[in-house]
Amino acid sequence: MSEARVHVYLAQLGLGSRREIEDQIRLGRVKVNGKIAKLGQKVDPQQDQLSYRSRLIPPSKARQNLQLVLLHKPKGVISSLKDPQGRMGVVDLLPRRFSHLYPVGRLDLQSEGLILLTNDGDLALRLTHPRYEVPKVYEVKLRGNLDPKKIEHLEKGVRVGNEKWKGVRILDLKEVTRSGVPKFKLQIEIKEGKNRHIRKLFEALSCRVIELKRLKVGPLSLKGIPRGGYKVLSDSQRQRLRRDLGMEEA
């Protein structure tokens, strides 16, 4: 392999997206031959000794086999790799052979549904960065009065705090009121991914999310994957996904 920019090479090794690794370089957590790396610095993978967040990367390490796993995260399982409280994470639901993968995006503790794990850093960035507007579909169960005016706000945009958040696309809407308590079940599509996005969106409309499940990320679906189960995409399926997202094969 010829010289490559350090953030590109580390992304190819599955250590994160290019953007994430650039952030680590800015924080001084990437070193080349014992010295803190600079943004845009080129390295020779066959000669240079790299470290990433104190982890040594042996010279001439071949690019890992890139993988993508679809997981049905249950409630009560965290999306991050590490947890100070020692709670179960999504990687704990997978066999050890997938321990090098990292989650793409997040679902909060009380949400369930589709979460992706990969070591394809560029694909992870394409799926999560707002500028690419990859749609995500959620099933939401609400308590509260979702009247026509609130539905209009939901579709056109909602003010959350000091920000105006983009509207969502409503794919399905049913009222399931029981015992006089207004409840609704929706399927919505969003193209943003703020922290606790959907819960905050409905809180701003005086509705409370009581159940939240992610059904799709782009063309990838939860269908057929049991709670706590997973599905491994073949390399040809992963390459097809990259092409569908306007990316080169890798």
Active site residues: 108
Beta carbons of 190 and 136 less than 8 angstroms apart: yes
Beta carbons of 124 and 11 less than 8 angstroms apart: no
Q: What number of other Cβ atoms are within 10 A of residue 55's Cβ?
A: 9
Element (H, E) at 154: helix 148-156
Beta carbons of 86 and 244 less than 8 angstroms apart: no
Which residues lie closer than 8 Å to 167 by C-beta, 6 or more apart?
153, 154, 155, 156, 157, 158
Q: What number of other Cβ atoms are within 10 A of residue 78's Cβ?
A: 20
Which residues lie closer than 8 Å to 95 by C-beta, 6 or more apart?
none
DSSP 217: E
DSSP 97: G
Element (H, E) at 50: strand 50-52
- Write out the two tokens for 170: 């409503």
Residue 198: C-alpha distances to residues 126, 170, 189, 239 (Å): 21, 13, 10, 30
